Structures are given as C-alpha cells and as structure tokens.
C-alpha cells in the first residue's frame, strides 16, 4: 500500500501543471539618453541594461511597454497598468507621496545647458590665469630659482668667478638666473662640481614646476572654461523671463513651475523638450534660451555633440536619488528580489560601470 500511495502521489505531481512566473509589464520612456532610448529598433541605456541584469539573475520574464513621458510612465505604474517603471526616475518628495520606488541605485542633480558666449569665455580664461593659486605657484618657482642663483654665485666665486665677468656683477647674476630658469648655457656659468650639482637641482625644480603648471592649466583653465557657459546664470531665479526647454512631466518642469507659482517676475517660459538630443536643435534655432534636465543627460549630450557651442551654466541642482518605480499590485516577493539584486549590483560597482560606459559611448 505505501508503494501504491507514493506512486499515486508521483503521478498527481507529474500531471499537475507548474505555475509559470508572471510576465512583468515594464514601462520606459524613449529619448531619455543615456538612461533609456530606442536606437535602430532596440532599447538601450544604462537603466535598460541594469534592468536586464536584474531580470536575468532572477529569471523574471517581462515585456517592454513604452510611454510618452515620465509623468505618463509613473501614472500608468500607479494605476497598475505597468508592473515596473525603469529609467533614471528621480525620487522627488512629491512623487514619494504616491509612488513606490525601488532601492535607489544612483544620485543625480539637475543642470542647465546654455549657449557659450565667447566674450564670457575669454573673461573666464583670464580670471583663471590670474587666480591666486597660479600666481603663488609662479612666485614659488621664481624664489627657488633665485635662491639657487645665489648659491651658484657663492660657490663659483673661486670657479668661474661671476663677479669678474666682463658684463659686470649685476648682469652676471642675471645671466646665472636666466640660465638656471631656462636651461640652455649651464656649461658656461659653472665649472666646479658643486656648481654642477646646483645646476642639476635647478633642472629638477624646473621640470617639477613645469609639470605643476601644466596640470594647473589643464584642470583649472581648460576644464573650467568648458563648464562655463553663461556667468550671468548663478541661480534658478536668473532664468526669469527666459525660454527654458524641459521634458514633460520631469522634475525639471515641476521645479520651474514651482518657481513661477512663487511669484517670479517675469515668469520662466517653458518649452517642450521631447527628446534630450533635441536640445541641440532648439538652442541652435533660437527656439529656447536654455535647456534644463538631469546632469547625467546633459553630460551625455555634450559628449556626443561634434561641436562645443554649449556648456553647463548650472550643475548639480537639487541632487536626489534615482530608482525604478513599482506598481501597488506588484507582489512583495518580486519587489524584494528586485531590491536585493539592485543592492548587490550597486555594491559590486556594476551600476557605476554601466554609468561610465553610457557616458563614454560614441
């Protein structure tokens, strides 16, 4: 009897269909580079690749469902029409009241893109060259070379005897200073072993100082002027009366609308930005004075453009966490599994790697 009972149970289990995992409806938005966008018939972006890793690891079947804007995407998720909304969705306080979010996977702020002004760019370059740090570096180099010149003068009193040179003592010291500062002619000013040692020391001072100067110019001048687009924009209130393009339903749109409601005069004129790459056309045609979006999106756009006509006037405004969004009808088990994998990928540096790859993509 036990064998017959076990056989019957086995037959029942074998004939009982295994319940398949539900197919998740995953929503996303096109034109949101580098987070999610459609290219040559397939979806790409760091948020899309991040979701694919989560779904593959947890074996979650899904279908991608596009929506027109971030607002429509979140609204459909709240209504249960979508199970998960993916993208670099900002966890703004207004959204936290009625939207369930996943574990945040990155932080990002807003930025404002404006055309460059060549005159302002030149002024910024001049200010960088006259910065106190650069002046102190140059003064330090001059002082060191001056001390070494004094040392050479004293050491060579019984060698090349600079005080007795036909040009005179003052011009002799100036010649030593010039040689130690520039390099050529060191064999004409020293003859003693100590003098040659001081010349070698001056050479080391010269190459180290030159490296520091090049590094300073590269970091503080070149990069600084690349980010300088419009020095007149120092605050969001400086956008008053300007035409600013934003994506519909984005945090940027909500923030600028709040500024207008606070009584900003003249109010900011909002223009629709359907896709982030459209910012180049809107600014070039004069349809907008500035573009406001996530800093990561504008950094991506600047890296893709073949010219350098634009720059970021404001950066890292209102930094907030970004995550996926969940439907209220999504099971707690699936939500927990997604959050665990997101935490693992963030801890292991996969999210940071996907972000770098997205920004470096040609």
The DSSP 8-state label assigned to residue 218 in this structure reads: I
Distance CA 334, CA 328 (A): 12
More confidently predicted of 147 and 216: 147
Determine what percent of the chain is predicted with pLDDT higher than 90. Answer: 47
Token representation of residue 301: 């756009």
Categorize the per-residue pLDDT at 18 as very low, low, confident or very high, splitting at 50, 70 and 90: very low
Distance CA 48, CA 37 (A): 9
Among candidate residues 309, 313, 119, the one with its CA nearest the CA of residue 230: 313
Distance CA 105, CA 351 (A): 7
Categorize the per-residue pLDDT at 179 as very low, low, confident or very high, splitting at 50, 70 and 90: confident
Distance CA 276, CA 87 (A): 14
Res 219: pLDDT: 66
Q: What residue has token string 């969940």?
A: 326
Q: DSSP letters of 25-77?
A: EEEEETTBTTTBEEETTEEESHHHHHHHHHHHHHT--EEEEEESSHHHHHHHH
68-72, 144-148, 165-169, 337-341: range with highest mean pLDDT: 337-341
Res 176: pLDDT: 87
pLDDT tens digits, residue range 296-336?
999 999 888 888 788 888 888 888 999 999 999 999 999 99
pLDDT tens digits, residue range 123-178?
666 766 677 878 888 899 999 999 998 998 888 888 888 888 888 888 888 888 88
- The interaxial angle of helices 295-304 and 278-285, nearest 10 deg, is 80
Res 128: pLDDT: 66
The DSSP 8-state label assigned to residue 220 in this structure reads: I
**342 and 354 in contact (C-beta within 8 Å)?**
no
Mean pLDDT of 248-272: 92
CATH superfamily of 20-108+321-360: Periplasmic binding protein-like II (3.40.190.10)
Q: What is the pairing mode between strands 106-115 and 310-326?
A: antiparallel
Res 187: pLDDT: 63
**Range scoring the smallest mean pLDDT among 79-88, 138-147, 219-228, 303-312:** 219-228
Q: DSSP letters of 159-190?
A: TT-GGGSTT-HHHHHHHHHHHHHH-TTGGGT-
Res 5: pLDDT: 52
In the predicted model, is pLDDT for residue 30 greater than 50? yes
Res 278: pLDDT: 93
Give the N- to C-terminal CA distance of the chain in Å, as an integer.
Answer: 71
In the predicted model, is pLDDT for residue 362 greater than 60? no
Q: DSSP letters of 54-66?
A: HHHHHT--EEEEE
Burial class (CB in 10 A: 0-12, 13-18, 19+), 45: buried
Count of CB atoms situated within 10 Å of the CB of 291: 27
Taking the CA atoms of the chain, what radius of gyration do you get in angstroms?
A: 32
Categorize the per-residue pLDDT at 12 as very low, low, confident or very high, splitting at 50, 70 and 90: very low
Res 11: pLDDT: 46
Q: What residue has token string 């573009």?
A: 291
Whether 20-108+321-360 shares its CATH topology with 114-122+231-319 is answered yes
Q: Where are the domains of the chain?
A: 20-108+321-360, 114-122+231-319, 126-227
- CATH topology classification for 114-122+231-319: D-Maltodextrin-Binding Protein; domain 2 (3.40.190)
More confidently predicted of 58 and 179: 58
pLDDT tens digits, residue range 96-135?
989 999 999 999 899 999 987 666 556 666 766 677 878 8
Res 17: pLDDT: 46
Q: DSSP letters of 232-264?
A: T--SGGGGTT-EEEE-TTSHHHHHHHHHHHTT-
**123 and 224 in contact (C-beta within 8 Å)?**
no
337: left (phi over 0), alpha (psi -120 to 50) or beta: alpha
| Cα atoms in the Cβ-side hemisphere of radius 13 Å centred on 311 | 18
Res 16: pLDDT: 44
Categorize the per-residue pLDDT at 81 as very low, low, confident or very high, splitting at 50, 70 and 90: very high
Categorize the per-residue pLDDT at 212 as very low, low, confident or very high, splitting at 50, 70 and 90: confident
Among candidate residues 106, 98, 115, 94, the one with its CA nearest the CA of residue 250: 94
């Amino acid at each position: 009897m036990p064998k017959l009972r076990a056989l019957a149970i086995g037959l029942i289990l074998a004939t009982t269909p295994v319940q398949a995992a539900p197919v998740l409806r995953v929503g996303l938005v096109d034109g949101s580079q580098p987070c999610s966008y459609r290219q040559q018939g397939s979806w790409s972006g760091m948020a899309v690749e991040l979701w694919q890793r989560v779904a593959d690891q947890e074996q979650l079947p899904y279908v991608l469902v596009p929506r027109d804007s971030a607002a429509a995407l979140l609204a459909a998720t709240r209504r249960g029409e979508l199970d998960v909304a993916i993208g670099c969705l900002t966890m703004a306080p207004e959204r936290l009241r009625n939207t369930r979010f996943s574990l945040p996977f990155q932080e990002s702020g807003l930025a404002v893109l404006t055309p460059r002004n060549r005159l302002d760019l030149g002024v910024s370059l001049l200010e960088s060259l006259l910065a106190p740090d650069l002046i102190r570096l140059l003064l330090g180099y001059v002082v060191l070379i001056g001390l070494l010149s004094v040392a050479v003068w004293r050491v060579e009193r019984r060698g090349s005897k600079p005080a007795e040179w036909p040009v005179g003592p003052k011009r002799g010291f100036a010649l030593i200073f010039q040689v130690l500062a520039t390099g050529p002619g060191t064999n004409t000013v020293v003859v003693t072993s100590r003098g040659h040692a001081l010349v070698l020391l001056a050479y080391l001072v010269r190459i180290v100082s030159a490296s520091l100067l090049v590094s300073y110019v590269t970091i503080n001048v070149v990069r600084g002027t690349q980010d300088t687009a419009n020095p007149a924009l120092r605050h969001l209130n400086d956008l008053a009366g300007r035409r600013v393009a934003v994506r519909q339903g984005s945090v940027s749109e909500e923030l600028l609308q709040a500024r207008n409601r606070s009584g900003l005069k003249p109010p900011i004129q909002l223009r629709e930005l359907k896709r982030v790459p459209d910012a180049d056309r809107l600014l070039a045609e004069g349809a907008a004075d500035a573009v406001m979006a996530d800093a990561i999106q504008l950094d991506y756009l600047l890296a893709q453009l073949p010219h350098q006509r634009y720059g970021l006037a404001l950066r890292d405004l209102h930094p907030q966490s970004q995550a996926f969004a969940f439907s209220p009808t999504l099971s707690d088990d699936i939500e927990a599994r997604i959050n665990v994998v997101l935490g693992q990928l963030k801890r292991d540096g996969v999210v940071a790697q996907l972000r770098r790859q997205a920004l470096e993509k040609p």
